[in-house]
Structure 1
Amino acid sequence: MKKTYSHISLFFLTLTAMIAIVWPSLVEMELLWRRSETFMHCYLILPIFAWLLWRRWPYLETKELTFSPIAAIAAVFCLTIWLSAYLVEVSFIAHFSIIALLQCLVWACFGKKLVLSIRFPLLYLYFLVPFGEAINPFLQDITAYLTVGLLNGVAIPVFREGLYLHTAFGLFEVAVACSGLNFLIAALSLACLYAYLTYSSFLKQVGFVIIIIVLSILANSLRAFLLIYVAKISDFNYGFGDDHYYYGWAVFFLVIFTSFWFGGYFADKIPSIAEGENSASHQSQPVNLLAKGLTLTIIVLSLSTTALLRFNLPVTQVSELAMPSLNITLPRQQSPSNWGITFFDGIHRDALQLENGIEILHASYASRQNEGEMISWHNRLFDRDGWTLVNKKIVQLNNDKVELLFLRDTRGNPRVVLYTYRVGDYRLIRPELIKAAQLLDLLSMQHQGSSVLALSIANMEYTAAEKLLQQSYQYYYCLPQRCQP
């Protein structure tokens, strides 16, 4: 019993220290659960995890407990990944590394045998991570493609332009909310749990999960088709009001219920604990003091080092809305813009609108701020609800790498956006490279900060707009008092 207490006490002490260190990321995870319908199911993951452990508890009491220095080293790696992601605010990686860190701590404090016996409950914790939004464009494209096929199947002519579906009775957009991501992730979490409880064959488990993923994507396309079809036959009296969500969840429920009901016919006989695993006798082994000492030392040192870096990180205090940093006298046009670019929460933010219709935005950010960051979900280059991306391309201007975005709204009006980011001496486009450059800037203690520069013009043919923006970028870049990153 004393041996068991030593394992449990070490685990809960390290778990408490881990929670204190990664607390900001945990708060961020819960905030995402609360804000987005896509991740509301995350609140159920911990109760399900506790129930899965309770099911295994009679067997877990028979397992031999050991300490694992190798797992402690793996925990150090996970802590390093979390700290790096936390420094540059890459939430996705930070959240996943927390779950991996927890798994490593369980392995370090209780040993490989116990971890292997609860591997599914531990892996199931990854559903706590709010992930998947990056595949929204892919899911939107699939939904649009399949919806067009279904509409053609019932003799409804439709012309697809990106995510816009033009029909004789109306224009429809496959928006982000129509991607079906919330259906897909909720179905995936349920499918994994159902497959674990129903099948003992690994191939059956994987096959069932894949089938559910495919059916969820098909069901979402069927939902989009039905909404358009119902709107047509009802003259828009139904389909796009409050019943919009009811239809979606009704289709989702029917697909999941039917899949689980049909999958039950292929269920395997899961051996009970008494028949198999619990029959093994538990033999108490002496505690390996060397393994315990190494495990404890590695964990304490890594947690202490991470805590020092985390709590002593220099942070720039920024105001809620950054004040303009430049005083450039340029002709401006005062008409309102429907561009929809954001980039608030920085040190400085400047917005100009010229008489020729070109709009310019420059925003700069500190290496590390008390709130806000440059690359985030709410900082966007255009209003995604009002504009659809038709095409994009990367060009070189003044040895800078810039990207052009070609947009179109629901009325067919065009807009072109030219933008680039700066981190230190680097000018970058890809978000992952920007984050890597920000991390390098922090670790090198240079703290040069970062910024974004974007130019845009609307209601002009794409080729002419592209040429004008490139010329304006070069002129803007060469101003004596220029708003440039």
Structure 2
Amino acid sequence: METYSRPPARTWLVPLAAVALLIVGLWPTLEVLGSRWLILDQSYSHGFLILAASIVLVVRKWLRGPPSIGLFSFWLLPLLLAAVVYLAGAVLLIEALQQLAILPLVVGTLLLVWGWRQTTAFLLPIGLLAFAIPVWDYLSWPLQLITVEVNQFFLSRLDIEFFVEGVVVYFPGVGAFEIAHGCSGLRYLLVGLTLTTLYGELNYKTVRSRCYLIVAGTLLALVANWVRVFVIIYIGYESNMSSPLINQHDYFGWWVFTATLVPLFFIALKLENREVFTGRVQTTFVDDRSQAPGWLSILGVVFLPILL
């Protein structure tokens, strides 16, 4: 029989000690993950910002009502399975398996001492870290191919001689552009997912509004990358590969991405206003938050791409 108690002023000791032990045990993997976040010109340079946002959201949830401590033995099996996955990655020297097991180990530990009902309120703040774990690289190649197809379509509408082989666009007599891993748009996709998920957590109560915003953010992030690549290719062609934009395309890309935040926030505010007017609350989350002011949330998430 599952029982739990709530010692006054000490409800934080058990989960804190459990997470601390996890950090010690997972330190080699966490160290590799942190070094990946420090590479500022790759897709996961936003990792420490996501970690900070996740900690703030967890503390915010905690202050609104600390969960009661108990022993929910049902979740011991999933926790052990996550541990097996992590150990398999360590034995087989597959870092992706180890990194993939980090969040299940953390969530499984909390489920063991809090149970499902109490842990659900913390799933999204902790799950936000999924956008900073380097397992998304498998999307890079499909995104590269989509970017090539979109730009081939745009270029075919112009009076330009070119041909495409794989992910390389050739301009006879001018040069060639390779739509490489960094041009796939994975960086913008992950940041877009982070921003929309964070905004939905701070302002929305319905799952529908959150999903709409995430879909809109995903599409706009992809469009931003397509526009970036097309403009760079076209200006490179017109300038005979001499434009300084070719060497500064990273900075240009973030400006384009920031521009796409304008329609995204209009969509976000429209969804927020619709929730206010309809008053319908359709959520599967344990919701103990009050909505943050819209302007404050906008300012907060706008600073993320600026910092990047």
Q: TM-score range by the shorter chain?
A: 0.7 to 0.9
- Match of residue 106, structure 1, among 105, 110, 114: 110
Structure 1 position 178, deviation (Å): 1.3
1:395-423 deviation per Cα after TM superposition (whole angstroms, max 9, x unaligned): xxxxxxxxxxxxxxxxxxxxxxxxxxxxx
Q: Name 1:79's counterpart in structure 2.
A: 83
- Match of residue 57, structure 1, among 47, 59, 62: 62
Q: Which residue type is aligned with residue 223 of structure 1?
A: R
Instruction: For 1:4 and 1:72, locate their aligned partners in 2 and report how far apart those are by CA, in whole Å.
Output: 26
Structure 1 position 158, deviation (Å): 2.3
Q: Name 1:123's counterpart in structure 2.
A: 127
- Match of residue 212, structure 1, among 211, 217, 222: 217
Alignment of 1:116-155 (within 5 A): 116-155=120-159
Structure 1 position 160, deviation (Å): 1.2
Instruction: Summarize the Cα distance change of 1:221–1:242 in structure 2 as closer, same or farther, 3 Å threshold.
Output: same
Instruction: For 1:126 and 1:197, locate their aligned partners in 2 and report how far apart those are by CA, in whole Å.
Output: 18
Q: Which residue type is aligned with residue 77 of structure 1?
A: L
Q: Which residue type is aligned with residue 175 of structure 2?
A: G
Alignment of 1:261-340 (within 5 A): 261-267=266-272, 268-269=275-276, 277=288
Structure 2: unaligned runs, 5 residues or longer: 282-286, 290-308
Structure 1 position 199, deviation (Å): 2.5
Whether the 8 Å contact between 2:50 and 2:132 is mirrored in structure 1 is yes
Instruction: For 2:79 and 2:46, locate their aligned partners in 1 and report how far apart those are by CA, in whole Å.
Output: 28
Whether the 8 Å contact between 2:61 and 2:288 is mirrored in structure 1 is no
Instruction: For 1:80 and 1:163, locate their aligned partners in 2 and report how far apart those are by CA, in whole Å.
Output: 38
- Match of residue 19, structure 1, among 23, 31, 42: 23
Structure number with higher relative contact order (C-alpha < 8 Å, ≥ 6 residues apart): 2
Structure 1 position 240, deviation (Å): 4.6
Instruction: Summarize the Cα distance change of 1:83–1:189 in structure 2 as closer, same or farther, 3 Å threshold.
Output: same
Q: Which residue type is aligned with residue 121 of structure 1?
A: P
The alignment status of 1:66 with 2:84, answered yes or no, reads no
Instruction: For 2:30 and 2:225, locate their aligned partners in 1 and report how far apart those are by CA, in whole Å.
Output: 31
Q: Name 2:13's counterpart in structure 1.
A: 9
Instruction: For 2:177 and 2:6, locate their aligned partners in 1 and report how far apart those are by CA, in whole Å.
Output: 67
| More divergent stretch after superposition (141-150 vs 181-190) | 181-190
Q: Name 1:188's counterpart in structure 2.
A: 193
Structure 1 position 137, deviation (Å): 1.5
Q: Name 1:92's counterpart in structure 2.
A: 96
The alignment status of 1:160 with 2:193, answered yes or no, reads no
The alignment status of 1:260 with 2:241, answered yes or no, reads no
Whether the 8 Å contact between 1:158 and 1:167 is mirrored in structure 2 is yes
Q: Name 1:360's counterpart in structure 2.
A: none
Instruction: For 2:111 and 2:83, locate their aligned partners in 1 and report how far apart those are by CA, in whole Å.
Output: 15
Instruction: For 2:168 and 2:246, locate their aligned partners in 1 and report how far apart those are by CA, in whole Å.
Output: 19
- Partner secondary structure for residue 157 of structure 1: coil
Alignment of 1:165-176 (within 5 A): 165-168=169-172, 169-176=174-181
Over alpha carbons, which structure has the higher Rg?
Answer: 1
Instruction: For 2:78 and 2:13, locate their aligned partners in 1 and report how far apart those are by CA, in whole Å.
Output: 20
Instruction: For 1:12 and 1:107, locate their aligned partners in 2 and report how far apart those are by CA, in whole Å.
Output: 13
Instruction: For 2:209 and 2:160, locate their aligned partners in 1 and report how far apart those are by CA, in whole Å.
Output: 39
Structure 1 position 66, deviation (Å): 2.8
Aligned length: 273
Instruction: For 2:253 and 2:18, locate their aligned partners in 1 and report how far apart those are by CA, in whole Å.
Output: 44
1:326-383 deviation per Cα after TM superposition (whole angstroms, max 9, x unaligned): xxxxxxxxxxxxxxxxxxxxxxxxxxxxxxxxxxxxxxxxxxxxxxxxxxxxxxxxxx
Whether the 8 Å contact between 1:60 and 1:114 is mirrored in structure 2 is no
Instruction: For 1:248 and 1:164, locate their aligned partners in 2 and report how far apart those are by CA, in whole Å.
Output: 19
Instruction: For 1:185 and 1:262, locate their aligned partners in 2 and report how far apart those are by CA, in whole Å.
Output: 19
Structure 1 position 58, deviation (Å): 4.2
The alignment status of 1:42 with 2:38, answered yes or no, reads no
Q: Which has the higher helix share?
A: 2
TM-score (normalizing by structure 1): 0.52
Instruction: For 1:19 and 1:184, locate their aligned partners in 2 and report how far apart those are by CA, in whole Å.
Output: 28
- Partner secondary structure for residue 118 of structure 1: helix
Instruction: For 1:146 and 1:128, locate their aligned partners in 2 and report how far apart those are by CA, in whole Å.
Output: 27
Name segments (4+ residues, structure 1) moved above 6 Å: none
Q: Which residue type is aligned with residue 8 of structure 1?
A: W
Structure 1: unaligned runs, 5 residues or longer: 279-485
- Partner secondary structure for residue 38 of structure 2: helix
1:149-176 deviation per Cα after TM superposition (whole angstroms, max 9, x unaligned): 1112233232111112122433222122
- Partner secondary structure for residue 117 of structure 2: helix
